[in-house]
């Protein structure tokens, strides 16, 4: 009877060891999968958005008086004065002037020599 109990205990210990190894292996694989998901999200979502933000910032820094711009609200006009963080655009037939924050400029429709060179490189 003592031999049977000893065999049962030995078998139980042997069966328990592979389960612990499986838990460690599955833990490592789930951590690796999580890291891969984060890296994939960075390359698919975060990196392109940073690139787009950088291009928009560069466009806003290179605005000049006389450029035709469009705001994020859809107002189109010509820049008549440029401040540190605002621009004044002239819009409409009655030559109305509107002061707009620089971050609100979404598009510059005027093509400059620098922009032409960049388009040719592409």
pLDDT of residue 82: 94
Segments forming the whole domain that contains residue 67: 63-121
Q: What H or E segment, with its residue span, contains residue 61?
A: helix 47-61
Last residue of one domain, picked from the residues 61, 84, 107 = 61
Percent share of the chain, pLDDT over 70: 73
Last residue of one domain, picked from the residues 9, 41, 61 = 61
Distance (Å, whole) CA 6 – CA 15: 14
In tens, the pLDDT along 39-86 reads: 999 999 999 999 999 999 999 999 999 999 999 999 999 999 999 999
In tens, the pLDDT along 85-101 reads: 999 999 988 989 999 99
Residue 91 gets the label, from left (phi > 0), alpha (psi -120 to 50) or beta, of beta
Last residue of one domain, picked from the residues 46, 61, 76 = 61
Kindly report the CATH number assigned to the domain that includes residue 116: 2.30.30.30
């Amino acid at each position: 009877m003592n031999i049977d109990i000893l065999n049962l205990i030995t078998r139980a210990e042997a069966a328990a060891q592979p389960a612990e190894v499986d838990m460690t292996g599955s833990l490592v694989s789930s951590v690796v999968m999580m890291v891969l998901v984060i890296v994939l999200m960075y390359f698919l979502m975060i990196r392109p958005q940073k690139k787009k933000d950088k291009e928009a910032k560069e466009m806003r820094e290179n605005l000049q008086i006389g450029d035709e711009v469009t705001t994020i609200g859809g107002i189109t006009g010509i820049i008549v004065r440029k401040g540190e963080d605002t621009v004044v655009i002239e819009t409409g037939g009655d030559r109305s002037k509107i002061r707009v924050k620089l971050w609100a400029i979404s598009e510059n429709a005027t093509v400059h020599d620098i922009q032409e060179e960049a388009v040719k490189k592409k």
